[in-house]
Chain A
Amino acid sequence: MPREIFRKVSVDRLSSPEQIDQLLQVTTAREWVALIGANGSGKSTLTGLSVGLSAASKGTVSFRGQPISPGKVFAAAQNVALLLQAADEMLFAETVLGELEFGTRFRALPPEPVLDVAGAVEFFGFRGREQDSPWELSQGGRQRLALAAILVGAPGILVLDEPTTGQDADHMRAFLALIRRVRERTGLTVLTVTHDIRSVASRASRVVLLGEGRVRADGPTARVFAQTAELERWGVLAPPLARLQVALAPGADVLLDTESVAAAALAHRDDHAATAVRQ
């Protein structure tokens, strides 16, 4: 089944259907797409569309061929799991277990859920804390609980709205590692809306740059981050490592982790030394 969720969509602020059409129709299983762009570029509008929080003025928003109707958020939420930036606002129950069972009180679990309640307790590390209040967990714990709660069932796409905002490096790394494990276990496509370029550079397999409601760049992370001028034009600063490589060797894809850059630099130095010796 294709995982396309937008087709020829336009809303008042996103007035270019062809561009938006290109956006997510090629999301494939296990792909990690990062949606980046300056404030007001249309990222949140697209997030809202994906779960029926807002309506498209043209085109259709659908998942696996089923239209996502505006206003029917609870129905869309069965397919699209959206984790809000304010994850605390997504917790309502008295206990951790109550949170995980919350969704199952209103709709039956599908025969083959991506994650059931027991599996979520185990996978997200809540064993022994089932009867604790969610408010006794740390901030990171509450975010993990909200994530676990929206994944109980059979969603096909996980949408993360600014998931690492306000987190220190350790928490950010831990959260991103958790998302990687979730992908490995569930096969979910992940769509991250973020300003945190470091997290995009380290994890996303594909980057979509939005600017004034249109897609300005779309492709593998290494290729998009090589377009530093285009990124800057639309209010996004590429990672320093990428800018350095573009300054040294413009036009090529960039390496996004320090180890790879160091290895490449050392190999280049050895080549250079060998050439010098030969001469």
Chain B
Amino acid sequence: MNGLLARTVISYLIVFAVPMILPVAFIKLVGLGGLRELVTYEARDTPMHRLDPRLKVLYPIAMGVLSILLTWSFMLIVFALSIVPWFWLRPSRQRIRVLMVMVIGPALAGFWSQGLYYLPTGQIHFLYQFPWTISWLGSPGITTYGMVFGLEQTARVLVTVSTSMLILISTDVSDFTWAFERFRAPPQVGFAITAALRFLPEMISRTTLVMRAVELRGYDLSRPRWYQVARWPDYVRRIGRCVVLVTVPLLVGTLRGTTTMAMVADARGFGVSRRRGSLRVHRRTAVDVWGYVVLVLLVVAALVLNHLHIGARSYG
């Protein structure tokens, strides 16, 4: 009986540890302010900042395609390659902390959830088999196969996420606009993307400000300590109510921001001619050429390998 009880406790810990840890880690290490760090352009002079904006737009797309085409072992190479540019960028320590949480968090979630629920056919090797007492959760136990599978899936997603973040951090909105102009996209597309890119960090800043204002008006948003388990449900309830409270000022602020942006666009004569009036033009350098060569080689190599059924994922 004791054995069953102990196994039940261990099983519950395995099942609930990750969903309990991840939100706490996110709130403690990232928070709303940290989320802003992820999508805000960091004005610096690094090789990544100096790259051709068109190459930077193509880079996450190409890497995303590679991550879909290739098998896990080849995917590891793609994943490693997607990390290399971060060393050129050398983001601030604060940003690295946020990025690490945003990378490790989903990896852990994928690893854990697939370990619990992805079951291979045939003989199953359980890392830990759950007793019947928690059968209501629908998982017979945690498997190595599932965990590895979860890691693979997460790595595929992370390649696209990591490359996209790299570009967001290192590319000014005017460079984005220029890249879209050169891709012959209508100016409205460039403007819409610019507006969207600007909107997210601004929305996060405004949310942070309004949350502060809520507290200044006497609303308790103080976080309990991690061990004050009994106080966490009340904290979650207070946060839920706060979301309702802040909706109106956020909505009003956003609408005002939109109006201002529309006025700025009008004042700068947006849409008067078919082409954009003035754009910061990027002059191609040797590094850009090398970047294009490497990117094209990678994609071509992946397609050839796929055609030769080397490292190609099998479907069905």
- Which residues does A use to contact B, with CB under 8 Å? 51, 53, 71-75, 77-78, 81-82, 84, 86, 88-92, 102-103, 106-107, 135, 149-150, 153
Q: Is the CB of A84 within 8 A of B213?
A: yes
Q: Is the CB of A88 within 8 A of B249?
A: yes
Give residues 238-285 of B contacting A (CB, 8 Å): 245-246, 248-249, 252-253
Quick check: A92 and B222 within 8 Å, CB to CB?
A: no
Please determine whether A77 and B209 come into contact, CB atoms closer than 8 angstroms: no
Instruction: Give the dominant DSSP class at B's interface.
Output: helix
Q: In the complex the two chains form, is A88's CB within 8 Å of B252's CB?
A: yes
Q: Which of A71, A92, A135, A153 contacts B245 (CB 8 A)?
A: A92
B249 A92 Cβ-Cβ under 8 A: yes
Q: Are B216 and A73 in contact, with the CB atoms below 8 A?
A: yes
Q: Are B252 and A73 in touch, CB under 8 angstroms? A: no
Known: A71-B223, A84-B209, A89-B206. A153 touches B252 (CB 8 A): no
Q: What are the residues of chain A within 8 A of B210 when measuring CB–CB? A: 89
User: Which chain B residues have a beta carbon within 8 Å of chain A's beta carbons?
Assistant: 206, 209-210, 212-223, 245-246, 248-249, 252-253
Nearest 9 pairs of A and B residues by beta carbon: A73-B215, A103-B218, A90-B213, A74-B220, A92-B245, A89-B213, A77-B216, A106-B218, A74-B215
Residues of A within 8 A of B217 (CB): 77, 90, 92, 102-103, 149-150
- A241 to B313: give the CA distance in the assembly, Å: 79
Q: How far is the CA of A82 from the CA of B220 in the complex (A)?
A: 16
Shortest distance in angstroms between A90's beta carbon and chain B's nearest beta carbon?
4
Partner of B221 from A73, A102, A107 at Cβ < 8 Å: A73
Q: Is the CB of B216 within 8 A of A82?
A: yes
The answer on a CB contact under 8 Å between A92 and B214 is yes
Q: What are 15 sample pairs from A and B whose C-beta atoms fall under 8 A apart?
A: A71-B223, A73-B212, A73-B221, A74-B215, A74-B222, A81-B216, A82-B216, A84-B209, A84-B213, A86-B213, A91-B249, A92-B245, A92-B249, A135-B252, A153-B218
Residue from B206, B209, B221, B245 in contact with A74 in the complex, judged by beta carbons closer than 8 Å = B221
Which residues does chain A contribute within 8 Å of B206, judged by CB atoms?
Answer: 89
> Using Cβ atoms and an 8 Å threshold, which residues of chain B touch A71?
222-223
Kindly state the separation between the CA atoms of A66 and B48 in the bound complex, as whole angstroms.
Answer: 50
Q: Are B249 and A89 in contact (CB under 8 A)?
A: yes
CB-based A-B contact count at 8 angstroms: 64
In the complex, what residues of A have CB within 8 A of residue B249's CB? 88-92
Closest to A83 in B: B216
Could you say which residues of chain A place their CB within 8 Å of the CB of B220? Answer: 74, 106
Chain A residues, Cβ within 8 Å of B253: 88-89
When distances are taken between beta carbons in the complex, the residues of chain A under 8 Å from B212 are 53, 73, 84
Chain A: minimal CB distance from B171 (Å): 27
Q: How many angstroms from the CA of A135 to the CA of B248 in the assembled complex?
A: 10
Contact B223 A102 (CB under 8 A): no
Chain B residue numbers with a CB within 8 Å of A75 are 222
Inside 8 A of A53's CB, which chain B residues have their CB? 212
Shortest beta-carbon distance, A101 to chain B, in Å? 11
A106–B218 Cα distance when bound, in Å, is 7
In the bound complex, residues from chain A placing their C-beta under 8 Å from that of B218 are 74, 77-78, 102-103, 106-107, 153
Q: How far is the CB of A105 from chain B (nearest CB, A)?
A: 8
- Among residues of B, the one whose C-beta sits closest to the C-beta of A72 is B222
B256's nearest neighbour on chain A, judged by CB, is A88
- Chain B residues contacting A107 (CB-CB under 8 Å) are 218
Chain B positions within 8 Å of A51 at CB level: 216
Min CB–CB distance A12 → chain B (angstroms): 13
Taken together as a complex, chains A and B put the C-alpha atoms of A92 and B209 apart, in Å, by 13
Question: Please, how many angstroms separate the alpha-carbon atoms of A90 and B217 in the complex?
Answer: 8
Which of chain B's residues has its CB closest to A91's CB? B249
Shortest CB-to-CB span from B134 to chain A, Å, is: 36
Bound Cα distance from A86 to B248, whole angstroms: 15
- Bound-state CA distance A71–B219 (Å) is 12
Interface centre among B212, B223, B245 (most CB of A within 10 A): B212
What residue of chain A has the Cβ atom nearest to residue B212's Cβ? Answer: A53
Q: CB-CB < 8 A to B252: which residues of A?
A: 88, 135
Other A-B pairs, 14, CB within 8 Å; known A75-B222, A89-B249, A92-B246: A71-B223, A73-B215, A74-B215, A74-B220, A77-B215, A88-B252, A88-B253, A89-B210, A91-B249, A92-B217, A106-B219, A149-B217, A150-B216, A153-B218
